[in-house]
């Protein structure tokens, strides 16, 4: 069965994958035609075709759907992206969904909280434990003040109360961005 992996770092995930890798910023219909050709090249052993992209064109996904539904013998597909929302429900319903997140605790900087970063977090299928890891990474930052620590503490409380994860991420990131705009 084919799989889809949701990850916060596509390139890091691909470092340990062996197989035919198709890596694009946006997967387009011509890329799927290339994948089809690759899939129908016969081999003795099983073949893994990895399709990694930030975005997936709707037409490309519909063409890919046919391949995933009826793959050539001995061929498995692995779709890698940053958000399950970049894939159509019809694709998601035909693959096993896995999540693999990498911790970047040494690289986190409060100044790196941009609107784009917040949007990326909000569109990634981040779990409660991943939010806790993010909070712990933020705590390690040297320039935290009392207000920052209160925001982080409040976020931990919100997590324990099982509040909406997207609301918690928005609260944390926007609060820290505003509080640290002058750092």
User: Residue 76 and residue 19: Cα distance in Å, rounded?
Assistant: 10
**Fold for domain 3-100?**
Rossmann fold (3.40.50)
What is d(CA 108, CA 100) in angstroms, rounded to the nearest whole number? 18
User: pLDDT digit string (tens) for 56-91?
Assistant: 999 999 999 999 999 999 999 999 998 888 899 999
Cα radius of gyration rounded to whole Å, the chain: 19
Q: Give residue 65's pLDDT.
A: 93
Residue ranges covered by each domain of the chain: 3-100, 110-179
In a 13 Å sphere around the CA of 23, the CA atoms on its Cβ side amount to 11
**pLDDT over 50 (residue 147):** yes
Q: What is the mean pLDDT of residues 19-30?
A: 94
């Amino acid at each position: 069965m084919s799989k889809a992996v949701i990850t916060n770092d596509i390139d890091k995930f691909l470092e340990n994958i062996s197989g035919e890798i198709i890596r694009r910023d946006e997967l387009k219909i011509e890329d799927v035609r290339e994948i089809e050709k690759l899939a129908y090249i016969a081999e003795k052993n099983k073949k893994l075709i990895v399709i990694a992209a930030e975005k997936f064109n709707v037409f490309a996904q519909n063409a890919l759907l046919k391949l995933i539904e009826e793959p050539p013998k001995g061929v498995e597909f692995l779709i890698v992206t940053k958000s399950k929302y970049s894939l159509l429900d019809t694709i998601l319903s035909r693959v096993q969904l896995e999540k693999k997140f990498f911790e970047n605790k040494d690289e986190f900087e409060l100044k790196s909280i941009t609107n784009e970063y917040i949007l990326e977090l909000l569109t990634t299928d981040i779990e409660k434990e991943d939010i806790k890891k993010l909070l712990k990474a933020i705590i390690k930052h040297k320039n935290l003040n009392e207000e920052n620590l209160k925001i982080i503490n409040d976020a931990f409380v919100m997590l324990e109360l099982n509040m909406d994860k997207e609301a918690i991420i928005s609260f944390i990131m926007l609060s820290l961005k505003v509080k640290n705009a002058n750092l």
